[in-house]
Amino acid sequence: MSALRVFKFGGASVKSAEGIRNMAEIIRRQTSGNLVVVVSAIGKTTNALEEILSLYLAKSDEKANKLDQLKVFHTHIATELVGDSSSSHPLLAKVEQLFAELDEKMKFPPSGGYDYCYDQVVSYGELLSTTMVSFYLNQAGIRNRWIDIRKCLRSDTSYREGVVDFELSQYLCEKEFCFDSDHLFITQGFIAGTAEGTTTTLGREGSDYTAAVLANLLDATDVTIWKDVDGVLSADPKIFSNTCKLDFISYQEAIELAYCGAQVIHPKTIKPIQNKQIPLYVKSFINPEASGTTIGHSDVPLSLPPVLILKRNQALVSLTPHDFSFVIEESLSKIFAILYRHRVKVNLVQNSAISFTICVDDEHLRLPGAIEELQKTFTVRFNSNLELLTIRHYTSHVVDEMVGERIVYLQQRTRSNARFIMDARL
């Protein structure tokens, strides 16, 4: 088989007709070999669908308006792409049909729990975007096949956090992606399917992960994630000044950065490609010829500049057993079992003799339930509206500059990381 590459285009790259045309040009330049293109929902569609879901669950009349706005947004882009606004146009009819299906689903009273409903609704973002992209590419002479990834990326029924069955998915994907007859495939990121044929999602921003998993399953030579930045940067330029691009980082470094909260790639993305030593390129879709960042294998320690990672919307939770007994293994395992059950993401832990402190994502759907359960055994103290700043490869100069006189609730330093929990800046 000739070489296979995997490309992933995120929401920002396909947020308009112009963006989709630009993406088509990047794909067109890929003249030889096989290519699988993983696409996210258009622009901020996933957020909009989350909102529509909440309105549906709250039985709010506002839902119809929001759904209509989203439909107008997609129809507008589709119209611009095909240069035709008649509703009988095959692409416009298809967009209409997907919205009608989604609307139909929400005519029934919600059942199956929040996470299940979430996946059935929010997955439409990727179904819409890939349908539009695939149609447009074919029309532009870039022959491709649209794949419904739910048929071949098999997950369990952990809705909103589907766990991929690699073995079965490999078997199914090898059949579905048939490179004998086609060389370009367009498919959805973020979503998967269960054995029962229901839809799951793989966690917010999960399209990078999909690209990595497909690269692993189909033995790709490399993966490229196309973004609106030049590559992996030393800090988010929207928050910090003086950022620089990292030319090369190891898989290990990428995992550490993602774990600390770097937005650039989804934390789960690295393992599937590292296992097969597949390089990952992070490149700019605005400047596609530029070199970007390569993430790959390295035997030698690399010297990297200080990297700043800010995680917002954090809560600090301190737990003390009601009877003031020492926090021993049993308490710890109890705490983690509760946090895991409620899917609360723990970003940092610190313990003392009688108390245990964790910094967690302050997710309003998950944290309150966990706290309520923890309160049965522990006295819980709670601070919210905090931010967690990680300075990786820190220097005292950068720590002074970034933290200075600010009030620090908790800090932790290892040889490579200095982490600070502080009040959120306005």
Amino acid at 365: L
- Residue 176's binding partner, choosing from Mg ion, ligand ASP, none, with beta-carbon cut-off 5 to 8 A by kind? none
The span from the CA of 154 to the CA of 166, in Å, is: 8
Residue 41 or 260: the one with the smaller Cβ distance to ligand ASP is 41
- Residue 177's binding partner, choosing from ligand ASP, Mg ion, none, with beta-carbon cut-off 5 to 8 A by kind? none
Residue 125 or 334: the one with the smaller Cβ distance to ligand ASP is 125
Min separation Cβ 227 and Mg ion, Å: 12
Which among 58, 65, 64, 79 is positioned nearest to 16, based on CA atoms? 79
Residue 208 or 422: the one with the smaller Cβ distance to ligand ASP is 208
* Residue 11 binds Mg ion, judged by CB under 5 A: yes
- Residue 123's binding partner, choosing from Mg ion, ligand ASP, none, with beta-carbon cut-off 5 to 8 A by kind? none
Min separation Cβ 132 and Mg ion, Å: 15
- What residues between 42 and 101 interact with Mg ion by CB under 5 A? 46
Residue with tokens 């982490």: 419
Q: Are 91 and 135 in contact (CB under 8 A)?
A: yes
Residue with tokens 């309003």: 364
Residue 13 or 46: the one with the smaller Cβ distance to Mg ion is 46
Residue with tokens 């997907």: 98
Q: Are 249 and 302 in contact (CB under 8 A)?
A: yes
Residues of the shown chain interacting with ligand ASP in the complex, contacts defined by CB under 6 A? 10-11, 40-41, 46, 125, 189-190, 204-207
Angle at 256 between CA 335 and CA 118, to 5 degrees: 60
Amino acid at 32: S
The span from the CA of 108 to the CA of 124, in Å, is: 17
Residue 23 or 315: the one with the smaller Cβ distance to Mg ion is 23
Min separation Cβ 330 and ligand ASP, Å: 37
The span from the CA of 421 to the CA of 417, in Å, is: 13
Residue 28: both structure tokens together: 């067109």
- Residue 231's binding partner, choosing from Mg ion, ligand ASP, none, with beta-carbon cut-off 5 to 8 A by kind? none
Min separation Cβ 329 and ligand ASP, Å: 36
Residue 21 or 204: the one with the smaller Cβ distance to ligand ASP is 204
Residue 10 or 296: the one with the smaller Cβ distance to ligand ASP is 10
The span from the CA of 98 to the CA of 124, in Å, is: 8
H helix or E strand, kind and range, residue 250:
strand 248-250
Residue 267 DSSP label = G
- Residue 190's binding partner, choosing from Mg ion, ligand ASP, none, with beta-carbon cut-off 5 to 8 A by kind? ligand ASP
- Alpha-helical runs (H) found in 159-314: 166-176, 207-217, 251-260, 270-274
Binding mask 26-45 for Mg ion (x = CB under 5 A): --------------xx----
Min separation Cβ 84 and ligand ASP, Å: 27
The span from the CA of 415 to the CA of 394, in Å, is: 9
Strands 184-188, 34-39: pairing is: parallel
Min separation Cβ 78 and ligand ASP, Å: 18
Q: Enumerate the β-bridge partners of residue 9.
A: 39, 226
- Residue 206's binding partner, choosing from ligand ASP, Mg ion, none, with beta-carbon cut-off 5 to 8 A by kind? ligand ASP
Min separation Cβ 267 and Mg ion, Å: 16
Residue 8 or 66: the one with the smaller Cβ distance to Mg ion is 8
Min separation Cβ 241 and ligand ASP, Å: 27
Report the interface residues with Mg ion, using CB under 5 A. Answer: 11, 40-41, 46
